[in-house]
Amino acid sequence: MNLGIITSFIVGALLLLSLVAWSARVSQNSSLVTMNQITKQYLESVSTTINSDLRNLGQGVGAEPIVSADSNRIVFRYATTSGTQTVTWFWNLSEPQTSTTNPNDFLLTRTVNETNTEIRFGVSRFNLTYFDENGAETLTPANIRRIRAEILVQSTEPYGIEYARSFWEADITPRALQN
């Protein structure tokens, strides 16, 4: 056999292998970018809704707009043109999602006047912290003046051994709670 032909086959095979490896890396990066984008869109949807709800907290209600508050649940009221709304946000740590492979995925529920909306897309952290007028943490509804909301959304399926993640945190000061 001709040494030139053998060398050409070896160089061609190496070139082909490098193209296949490059294509696989591009495909992996594309999948990761897509998962991150989906996770960010889910987080944006949830954060926009909770931000709006908490900013409206107590509007037009008067006394005792917050019914109850703890780190994973808040029940509050606000008035709209159609009447008073009672809103509950609850992250149920006793009910992991069985429809996903993510073990950190728990059900977040938004209830408005007893109509539930279940948020079933990778909420792996939901934490509410409440502050009084001096900036000290409190759980007493009458003393709450500011609320810090934290949400972590992870992809419902892993990419390799990790899940894509997006985090949102906001300090919300409802106007109706200010004296």
Helix (H) or strand (E) holding 178: none
Of residues 63, 62, 55, the one with CA closest to residue 87 = 55
Output the pLDDT for position 130: 96
CA dist 155 and 148 (Å) reads 23
Cα dihedral sign, 155-159-161-165? negative
For 62-71, write each residue's pLDDT tens digit.
888 999 999 9
Q: Are 50 and 172 in contact (CB under 8 A)?
A: no
Of residues 49, 56, 54, the one with CA closest to residue 74 = 54
Give the global pTM.
0.80
Q: Are 116 and 95 in contact (CB under 8 A)?
A: no
Q: Where are the domains of the chain?
A: 30-177
Tens of pLDDT along the chain (179 residues) come to 677 788 887 878 888 888 777 776 766 677 778 888 888 998 999 999 999 999 999 998 888 899 999 999 999 999 888 889 999 999 988 877 888 888 888 989 999 998 999 888 889 999 999 999 999 999 999 999 999 999 999 988 888 888 889 999 999 999 988 86
